Amino acid sequence: MIRALVLALLLLATPALAKPPRLTLFIAVDALGTDLLLRSRPQLRSGLAQLIDRGAFYPDVRYQQAQVATAPGHTILSTGAYPWRTGVVGNRILNRSTGKE
């Protein structure tokens, strides 16, 4: 019983001890649906095939976003934070000091 408890505690603590990755690569291809990518998978030999096979691949990601725009959507996918948190609310950049795009 004690061994099982120690093992459980070690398993729970392991993610906290892990080092974060030095580099994270995030690729988003607009208008490339998962269905098309997976249908094309047999023809892929390297590049995307390697990323699909060895990377984190989420074929059915969904996130809540009222207005669909590229910049906020990619920011949500890459950071996990919504626009109210990141400040990326649209595709256009506003200079706060001048008020101009």
Tens digits of per-residue pLDDT, 29-78? 777 888 888 899 899 888 888 888 888 887 877 777 777 788 888 888 88
Beta carbons within 8 Å of 3's beta carbon, 6+ residues apart: none
Q: How many CB atoms lie within 10 A of CB 18?
A: 8
Active site residue 70: yes
- Is residue 69 within 8 Å of 91, Cβ to Cβ? yes
pLDDT surpassing 70 at residue 14 = no
**Prediction pTM value:** 0.56
Instruction: Give the separation between CA 67 and CA 83, rounded to whole angstroms.
Output: 11
Active-site residue (options: 14, 24, 70, 79): 70
Among left, alpha and beta (phi > 0; psi -120 to 50; other), residue 4 is alpha
